Amino acid sequence: MSDWVEACAAGDIDEEDVMRFDHGGRTFAIYRSPDDEFFATDGLCTHEKVHLADGLVMDDIIECPKHNGRFNYKTGAARGAPVCVNLKTYPVKVDAGKVLIQIG
């Protein structure tokens, strides 16, 4: 049983970009893909706990700002050294221009 939390307005994030969202002592990263879909993952890199929202989004990849580790933000899959542990992902929906994420 988990709640949908409002993270931001859809217009707050550019296409092919990412934003940090903090809630309840946790930190998340919200993505807008080049084809205008929204996704959410844990906010910290699994290599050294760096905020991924400072990183670069390219297609369906988020690249960590610290050492360029890569994840597919749609699935959370680790995609390149030095990261080897996957990111947790969260369901996202857009409702009346608001981006909501379901945090478990």
Partner 1 sequence: MARGMVIIGAGECGGRAALALRELGYDGAVTLVGDEPHLPYERPPLSKDAMVSEAPEIKAIASDAILAEKSIRHIHSVQAVAIDRAAHAVRLSDGSVLPYDKLLLATGSTPRKLPMPGLGPRCVYLRTFTDALAIRAHLTAGNRIAVIGGGFIGLELAAAARKLGAAVTVIEAQPRILMRGVPAEIAEIIHEAHVAEGVKILCGDGIASIADDGKEVRVTLAGGQEISADLAVVGIGAVPVTGLAAEAGLTIDNGIAVDAELRSSDPDIFAAGDCCSFPLAVYGGRRVRLEAWRNAQEQGALAARNMLGAGEAHAAVPWFWSDQYGLSLQIAGLSDEGRSIVRRDLDDGAFILFHLAEDGRLVAASGIGPGNAVARDIRLAEMLIGKWAKPAPEALGSQAVKLKSLLAA
- Residue 67 makes contact with partner 1 by CB under 8 A: yes
In one letter, which amino acid is 103? I
Q: Which of 4, 27, 33, 51 binds partner 1 (CB under 8 A)?
A: 51
Nearest residue to ligand FES, by Cβ distance, number only: 69
Nearest to 29 by CA among 74, 84, 83: 74
- Residue 43 makes contact with partner 1 by CB under 8 A: no
Tokens of 98: 């608001």
- Residue 23 makes contact with partner 1 by CB under 8 A: no
Distance CA 14, CA 12 (A): 7
Q: Which of 5, 8, 56, 77 binds partner 1 (CB under 8 A)?
A: 56
Residue ranges that bind partner 1, judged by CB under 8 A = 16, 50-51, 54-56, 63, 65-68, 81-82
